[in-house]
Amino acid sequence: MSDSHATAVDTAESHPQLRHHFANMEQQKNTASLGMWLFLVTEIMFFGGLFCAYLIYRLMHFNAFAAASQQLDIKWGAFNTAVLLVSSVTVVLAVRAAQDGNRKQLVGYLVITVLLGLTFLGVKAIEYKEKFEKHHVPGPTFAFTNTFDDNGKQIPVNPKEAELFFSLYFAMTGMHALHMIIGCGLFSVLAVLAWKGHYSPGYYTPIENAGLYWHLVDIIWIYLFPLLYLISRHS
């Protein structure tokens, strides 16, 4: 493992963002970046607990999970996946604009990213509303009617196990949506600060680190989409 050592010394006059305990801007930047990556690892483990529960119950109750999964709307799921992927591109472009010192482009891309994030959340809200209408929200009102296979035969599914699928569906997408909300808030603040000219080619670490966070939230969705929406669709 290589490390950056403080050799050259920057001064507070030439770099107003330099905090007192760092020797130079490069050390400060590398420090913030490593901190962000480690935080992302904690996020992986945080979602990991949910993925673990999902994996085990999917193996235990495969038929129920397949039947319940088929109640989700692939169109919305795929659309949201696309929205998030596009937003990841706009984040990359925002970082690039910050590197170039192009303030207008930076603000523009940040705003587009927030709008895409809000689109995702809007679609999620539509999907959740649908779940309420179909009584697919776990709890006393939960109801699940069995589905039919190719030959019109009823697949026997224990509604309790289907309910477990929806419990995990809401836990996982809900936790993901919470991260999206935080991300949208974060990028809104960054957009305002960028508009005020806080960032320059010499200092754009917050943009870069918020971008890393956004990409990780995107990656989690990249896994959630096939795991939740695409179980046994071919039958």
Partner 1 sequence: MSEHEHVTSRAFSIALGIGLLVLTAITVKAAFINLGAFNPVVALLIATVKATLVVLFFMHVKGASEKLTSVVVISGFFFLAILLSLSLADYLTRSWR
Partner 2 sequence: MATTVIPAQPISRPTNYLTNGFTLKSWLLTTDHKRIAILYLISVTLFFFLGGFFAMLIRLELLTPQGDLMHADSYNKVFTAHGMIMVFFFLIPVVPAILGNFLVPLMIGAKDLAFPRINLLSWYLYIVAGGIMIHVLLNGGVDTGWTLYSPFSTQFSNTNVIEAGIAIFIVGFSSIFTGLNFIVTVHRMRAPGLTWSRLPLFIWAQYATSLIMILGTPVIAITTVMLAVERLFHLGIFDPKLGGDPLLFQHLFWFYSHPAVYIMILPSMGVISELITCFSHKRVFGYKIVALSSIAIAVIGFLVWAHHMFVTGISLYAALIFSFITFFVGVPSAIKVFNWTATLYRGSISFATPMLYAFGFIGLFTIGGLTGLFLASLGVDVHVTDTYFVVSHFHYVMVGGVVMGYLGGMHFWWPKISGRMYPEGWAKLSALFVFVGFNLTFFPQFVLGYVGMPRRYWQYPPEFQVLNVLSTAGASVLAVGYLLPMVYFAWSLRYGPIAGPNPWNAAGLEWKTASPPPTFNFDETPVVTWEAYNYDEIEPKLEDGGIR
Mapped onto helix, strand or coil, the DSSP state of residue 154 is strand
Task: Give CA–CA dist 174/119, Å, rounded.
Answer: 15
Q: Which range in 1-9, 73-81, 114-122, 203-211 contacts partner 2 by CB under 8 A?
A: 1-9
Nearer to partner 2, 26 or 105 (CB): 26
Site string for partner 2, 32-71 (x = CB under 8 A): --xx--xx-xxx-xxxxxx-xx--xx--xx--x-------
Instruction: Count the neighbouring beta carbons within 10 Å of the beta carbon of residue 163.
Output: 19
Partner from partner 1, partner 2, none binding residue 164, C-beta < 5-8 Å depending on class: partner 2
Using N-to-C axis directions, what is the helix angle for 103-133 and 205-229, rounded to 10°? 30
Chain positions contacting partner 1, by CB under 8 A: 1-4, 25-26, 29, 33-34, 37-38, 40-41, 44-45, 48-49, 51-52, 55-56, 59-60, 74, 78, 81-82, 85-86, 88-89, 91-93, 95-96, 99, 201-202, 208, 211-212, 215-216, 218-219, 222-223, 225-227, 230-235
Contact 64, 165 (CB under 8 A): yes
Least distance CB 195 / partner 2 (angstroms): 24
Residues 137-156 that bind partner 2 (CB under 8 A): 138-140
Alpha helix segments (H runs only) across 4-102: 25-60, 62-69, 74-100
